[in-house]
Amino acid sequence: MTLAVWAGVMIIGGLGSVARYMVDRAVARRVARSFPFGTLAVNISGAVLLGFVSGLTLSHHAALLAGTAFVGAYTTFSTWMLETQRLTEERQIWPAVTNLVVSVVLGVAAAMLGQWIASLL
């Protein structure tokens, strides 16, 4: 990989992280609940984006920058798992199970939606 690709990954990954923070906070402010709606919104919208990117015919470097750098930094598996574990610690078992099931089911559907949208282009 070239220095330009490395720099692109850093810059675009940084933008993805900032976007994640902004979306998570915006959703969390509107829905003041113990359920992690902000992380759910980020991960579902990220699944749509990644499905869309994977449905496009991109060069290896463009796919790396869009998919891995931006969407990879935007979505968050670790926060999803930590928040689910926190719900179980607080004995909120049904919300924890709901977070797991809804995230997986909607995530797969969202990725398929993104690929379908890309196929229309």
Residues at the binding site for Na(+) are: 72, 75
Q: Which residue has the tokens 């997986």?
A: 104
Neighbours of 16 (CB within 10 A): 21
Cα–Cα distance measured from residue 76 to residue 46, given in angstroms and rounded to the nearest whole number = 9
Residues contributing to the annotated binding site: 72, 75
